[in-house]
Structure 1
Amino acid sequence: MDYNKTGIQYMQEGKYEEAAKAFSAAIEENPNEALYYVNFGNLLSAVDEPEKAIRFYQKALEITPTIATAYYGMGNVYYNLGDFQKAKEHFETANKHGLENSDTFFMLGMTLQQMEQDKLSLVYLQRAVELNEEDTEARFQLGLSLAGQSFIDEAIEQFIEVTTRNPSHADAFYNLGVAYAGYKEDAEKALEMFNKALEIQPTHALAHNGKQIVESALSEQ
């Protein structure tokens, strides 16, 4: 039996106890395979055991100091713990060791955003979307980043693309409403966007507020 493959399958199914048993068996069978420790670390991170997860990632790095996925896993743990400097360092090291995929660039962008390094964050989020155009969450965050840098037309393009690829993305419609109301001064279009957000998520408080403000402004015309 391929215990590692079985463990991954259990993780994907949310069967964490079974996954832990499978990864333990994989490690017992081959204690010098760094990847097995990384996968166990990922499992521990998923069940909110960050300190234990870090120990497994560190063990993986003792065996294979260049295993990029261990650095990436540690980056995620530190990000969730709010230690953004350490998260940044680990994501950068993962990238340096060859993990040059959309997820790594996305997490680097999100980390830099938390560190208020907005211009650099924008660069990484753009790269994330270039590498995976289907990732609507990365594209949405790119739109927010563009808007934050006052690139409103470019932000609108990204939000429209998000809603095209994911028509149930209420936050993207809400942000389109904000852009049309606050920057384009197109109240009718803004109202349309707020209404779409509320159709998807009737409890969207920000969309409710935006809609009320626009309706109030239209009634005074």
Structure 2
Amino acid sequence: MSFNQNFQNLILPKQQEAKIYLSQGKLEAAYEICQSILADSPNFYPAYNTQGKVLQAMGKIESAITSYRQAIQLNPQEIETYKILGDILVKQKQLSEAIACYETAIKYNPKVSLFHHKLGLVFIELKNWDKAVNAFCRAIQFNPNFAWSYHKLGEALTQQKKWNQAVIVYQRAIEIKPDLY
């Protein structure tokens, strides 16, 4: 059997099965399948990504981080993994590493507003108001209908005491989402 046939007949169905088990909360079964896939195909990055999700669901955060990093190493252009890893790193207060994840994702796909928004959130946490403002402005540029980017931009502008600009962006946030608290 050729590699391509092996891939189509064995690896992909196993990967799908692992995802199903993960969605059903059968974490041990999903983890075992990921391990089996990686034993046979150690460069199959989707299995590292799924394994990271399983480990994360198990509460094994450091192991999940390792799996996500392995997935990124094997396929640096898989931007979903940067988001997941960046979010975990934010929760772990590893903010400089989270920034690196979001910035790398932006490098590969600069028009995804979510990464700019998440970057802005980290800069707010670091109280780096100038960088937060820039990140939220970029997020708004690529998704002008996401009220939360305006809201967070308003927060950063308020910290800079740029009252008039803050009022304008808060008003825009309310126009987009009138029930925004």
2:35 to 53, 58, 65: 58
- 1:112 is aligned to 2:89: yes
The Cα shift of 1:81 comes to 4.5
The Cα shift of 1:141 comes to 0.6
TM-score of the superposed pair, with normalisation by structure 2: 0.84
Say how many residue pairs are matched: 174
Q: Distance in 2 between matches of 1:116 and 1:124?
A: 14
RMSD (Å) for aligned C-alpha atoms: 2.2
Alignment of 1:1-221 (within 5 A): 30=9, 33-96=10-73, 98-101=74-77, 102-183=79-160, 185-205=161-181
Give the aligned residue type for 2:151: Y
Q: Which residue of 2 aligns with 1:20?
A: none
Q: Identify if the C-alpha distance between structure 1 residues 141 and 44 changes in structure 2 by more than 3 Å, giving closer, same or farther.
A: same
Q: Which residue of 2 aligns with 1:212?
A: none
Q: Identify if the C-alpha distance between structure 1 residues 62 and 135 changes in structure 2 by more than 3 Å, giving closer, same or farther.
A: same
Q: Distance in 1 between matches of 2:137 and 2:25?
A: 35
Tell me the SS of whatever aligns to 1:150: coil
1:93-142 CA-to-partner distances (Å, cap 9, x unmatched) read: 2223x121222223222221111111121112111111111222122111
Greater mean alpha carbon deviation, residues 109-118 or residues 149-158: 149-158
The Cα shift of 1:46 comes to 4.1
- Structure whose CA Rg is larger: 1
Q: Identify if the C-alpha distance between structure 1 residues 84 and 167 changes in structure 2 by more than 3 Å, giving closer, same or farther.
A: same
Q: Is the 8 A contact 2:129 2:157 kept in 1?
A: no
Tell me the SS of whatever aligns to 2:93: coil
Q: Identify if the C-alpha distance between structure 1 residues 182 and 167 changes in structure 2 by more than 3 Å, giving closer, same or farther.
A: same
Give the aligned residue type for 2:136: F
Q: Distance in 2 between matches of 1:108 and 1:160?
A: 23
Give the aligned residue type for 2:16: N
1:191-214 CA-to-partner distances (Å, cap 9, x unmatched) read: 221122122222222xxxxxxxxx
Give the aligned residue type for 1:168: N
Q: Is the 8 A contact 1:84 1:114 kept in 2?
A: no
Give the aligned residue type for 2:101: Y
Q: Distance in 2 between matches of 1:147 and 1:86?
A: 28
Instruction: State percent identity of aligned pairs.
Output: 22
Q: Identify if the C-alpha distance between structure 1 residues 202 and 49 changes in structure 2 by more than 3 Å, giving closer, same or farther.
A: farther
Structure 2 segments unaligned to the other structure (5+ residues): 1-5
Structure 1 ranges of 4+ moved more than 6 A: none
Q: Which residue of 1 aligns with 2:3?
A: none
Q: Distance in 2 between matches of 1:80 and 1:156?
A: 33
Q: Is the 8 A contact 1:118 1:145 kept in 2?
A: yes
Bigger relative CO (Cα 8 Å, ≥ 6 apart): 2
Q: Distance in 2 between matches of 1:81 and 1:44?
A: 13
Q: Distance in 1 between matches of 2:169 and 2:120?
A: 16
